[in-house]
Chain A
Amino acid sequence: MKLLRGKDLKGKTLDEWLRKRRPSDFGDLKADYVKRYNELEDFLKTDVHPLVSIGAAVKDGIFLNDHGPAHVATVIKRASDLVSADTCELTPYETYVLLAAIQLHDIGNILGRTNHESRPRDLEGRLEGLLGDDSAEKRLIRGIAEAHGGTNNGDKDTIRQLVEDPVLNQKVRTRFLAGILRFADELADDSQRISTFAIENNAIPDASRLFHKYSRSLQSVIIDLKGQAINLHYDLTRADAQEEFSKDNAKLYLIDEILNRTVKMHRERTYCIRFLRPSIQLECINIKINVFKSNTSPDTIFSIGYRLEDKGYPTMPEQGIYEICPELSTWRNGQPLNGSRLLAEIAETKE
């Protein structure tokens, strides 16, 4: 079986690599996975992805930035960049599973934005048949797709809940693949997702403007595997900086959103890297923000840079141990565990 070695990708994307595989590259597996992937992609590109944003708009009244074929292609590109690490290898089957999951991960938006992550399994019809006829394999792909966000039984740690279970004699690193998808999706929120025309012509509802402006400002996302870093570059104009936006009944500026989103990206990096190590190492995110006078002016008013990384000694949670272990705060009879409570309980049980 010919493995995908990250260093051999050399700028190609995962799907380009997959399409060159032959059935014999998949070992004992009988299905033609390249053909299956192509059919899946064609169907989604034609029948589903173009409608995802429309579905969200109809259902929730929001104007999503692009969740269509271009976004999927960006996620695949980001995933390919992540996998290009020298120490990273994927089997052909894992490559198929990852790509299929990427294709599926946002289609739940067609039924509305909220909880869209867990919706792939709600979608029936032709999609079912395109994923093959083995239930466990379909569940595997959906599970990876669904773990890209949201919660599972109220728990945000969706990747950890995935079980590593071989499928059709293939060992699949389920959490590793889910980590790649999740972080690649996080990195795919750049300026290619937006409709510049819609922004310039104020066609975006107020509630959605900020997300589009944010995407427009993110000029580049570079995955520097040698430096173990992600480099983000934002450009905004004076006018962008001055504009106030509505979000969750609050008013804020674009720079606030950039700061929030880069922190979110930092948290996602911290979370996903647990499942990506040792094959993929990413230790920090470097952010550079240039503020220009205008779109046509080369003059920079400010150049802001910062780095998000795990540093310093971990701080004590505000609530102490009760924050980390909430069950201790209601140990017995709703009372927290501490010295005097333990003494009181011992006294009550003594004969």
Chain B
Amino acid sequence: MSLQENPFSVQTPEDIKATEVVDLFVDVFGDFYNIPNQGHTFLHGPRGSGKSMMFRYLEPDCQLLSHQQHKLHELPFYAVYVPIKNTDLKLTELERLENKHANVVLNEHFLTVFIASRVFASLRDRAGIDDPSGDHGRALATYLTGPFSKLLAKAGMPKTQQPLPSESLLSANVQWCIELFDELCSGVINYLRRLSFRRTALNYNGPLCGYLDFLLPMLKELRALPFMPNGPIYLLLDDADNLNETQTRILNSWVFCRTSSDVSLKISTQLNYKTYRTATNQRIDSPHDYTEIDISTVYASKTSSYSGRVEEIVRRRLNRHGAGVTPKEFFPEYAKQEEAIRQLEAEHIAKWAEEGRGHRARDDAYRYARPDYITSLSGAKKGSSKYRYAGFEQLVYLSSGVIRYFLEPASRMYAEALSTSGGKPVTHIDSLVQDRIIRDEAERFMVGEFDKLSEENTEPRHAGRFLQLRNLIHALGGAFHQILISDKSERRVFSIAFSDTADRDVLDVLKLGVQCGYLHEASIGNKEGTGRTRMFVLSRRLAPFFMLDPTGFAGYKFVTNAAVKEAILRPKAFIARISRGELLEDPPQLRLFDGSASGDDVDYNEER
């Protein structure tokens, strides 16, 4: 990598070469152990949380390199990457079929041939099969002219209509298969094109391939070929939110089949998966039909190793770049600020014996020093010093469990530093630059999505969900800031948990917030200690916008549905009431997490 190239650039994993993937990839399968194991798995996470990178790493070219194996058949599984772009499969014309003609059957055929094409494209581009003796080519040719031809015939393509592979050269036959399935896809699209403006059904006279009668037997037989691994085939379906509802139900039907010993489905979503019902209206459920991972939840949990992962990722990128510094050196803290905070910590420790609130002096130091520092800067005149969001640790916290939200600002910081470096290598990013870009990112995240109209001039009751969400985020952020600069015992708060049941309207707004990345959902023990309740955590990416302390453990407050409604309808009034100590209640056993706490409380990136 040249010094001019940005070590933090975010690339589409699909386009990254295997050597680079293996260099950059940090093994996260300790946290997500179900992914490389046999069995159907759903992997949820916002864009940029690393799902596609995980999938890319599972592909055979990366697996061969990382396990230093030479032969494909030595691998434990064969993973086929199937990215689903927004309008690849979800064509508007397909809506013409709904309640009219062969909606399920045609959508399944479309999905099947799409995946089948990717299977052979993977064999062409990722498998690296050596065939000096021609044995593999002959084995494939025998398969294609035998069982595969029968499968095609059963699907409705009689042998007389089948183009036949004419060679026994492996690469030629693989290419032949790709072209066959590409043509079958094209056949569907051409049919749909004719359907665009028809109001009545149109005969479809092409072949029809389904999962059970075509794709599964085809994959089973492919597995049996001598060059393929003995283990199962994994179909890595990336961004399955981009399927329409019928296709989603069809995919769920495949999950329902429990064929994972032959074919395991690894399905990633951006938390917008349309349904868990099958085409026959049954529900698939975790854990018996599939296992499920939500990356945000994993990285927000007490046992999180997110910080360590980010450090390793950044270290590898810097090494590749030839930077010769550690991540912490590359992203230094604002020394003056951290020194001031350490002084405040010392003061808290000194007076703990008389005035301390926590169990230990260190607890008070940790809990109050940084909030005190931020409070001391509140109301400071323009131009005087303000809190700087800088330092590797803060940047990690601010990325809120999604690696992309570390890399993208880092990439901007690097670009800026490079532009002012006069051609010299960039060895670190000044804390001022870090802070400015992070604040800019927070501002864009907060303001860029919402209407610029002031909430006072609109009718929030009648406004769209986006405006309601905007109000809610403002209300929560403002409230959490009020708590931070108050004299409460717990001042670092990032979450609310419901003490009663959230109604449909409130939940819709909260779920929109989760989808857009402003919130993430978790669960926590309820106030009564009799079960669990929903909890919503504000994204730490917004910390700079609301002047919050993003570091370390953050607590939560109980809140009623009525209070959240007030936040949605009258955010300023909500904040005012919070500053008067109303509306929010402390959890029953409020104590600082020092790593030894147990029970139901949630800890965020607590490793220190």
Contacts and interface: CB of A to CB of B under 8 A. Distances in A.
A66 B208 CA distance: 33
Contacts of A162: 280
A169 B105 contact: no
Interface residues of B, number: 28
A139 interface: yes
B381 interface: no
Given A153-B216, A327-B288, A28 B154 contact: no
A150 to B, nearest CB: 13
A168 interface: yes
B106 interface: yes
Contacts of A167: 101-102, 201
Contacts of A134: 102, 203-205
A136 B212 contact: no
A297 interface: no
B26 to A, nearest CB: 21
Nearest to A139: B208
A163 B288 contact: no
Interface in A134-148: 134-136, 138-139
B277 to A, nearest CB: 12
Contact of B205 (A135, A152, A164, A168): A135
Interface stretch (A18-26, A121-129, A237-245): A121-129
B206 A163 contact: no
A227 interface: no
Interface string B157-170: 01000000000000
Nearest to A143: B105
A162 B257 CA distance: 13
B100 interface: yes
A152 B280 CA distance: 15
A153 B279 CA distance: 17
Interface in B197-254: 200-201, 203-208, 212, 216
Interface in A301-351: 325, 327, 351
A135 B206 contact: yes
B156 A138 contact: yes
A166 B205 contact: no
B251 to A, nearest CB: 14
A128 B101 contact: no
Contacts of A169: 100-101, 200-201
A165 B102 contact: yes
A233 interface: no
Nearest to B154: A121
A107 to B, nearest CB: 15
Given A134-B205, A136-B102, A153-B212, A128 B288 contact: no
A133 interface: yes
A29 B399 CA distance: 59
Contacts of A168: 101, 201, 203
B303 interface: yes
Contact of B103 (A139, A153, A165, A351): A165
B210 to A, nearest CB: 9
B351 to A, nearest CB: 34
Interface in B85-129: 99-106
Given A133-B205, A160-B280, A166 B154 contact: no
Interface string B284-295: 000010000000
Nearest to A328: B288
6 contacts: A121-B154, A122-B153, A132-B203, A135-B156, A152-B212, A169-B100
Interface of B: 99-106, 153-154, 156, 158, 200-201, 203-208, 212, 216, 257, 259, 279-280, 288, 303
Of all A-B residue pairs in the complex, the 8 with the closest CB atoms, nearest first, are A136-B102, A134-B203, A165-B104, A168-B201, A169-B201, A133-B205, A163-B104, A135-B208
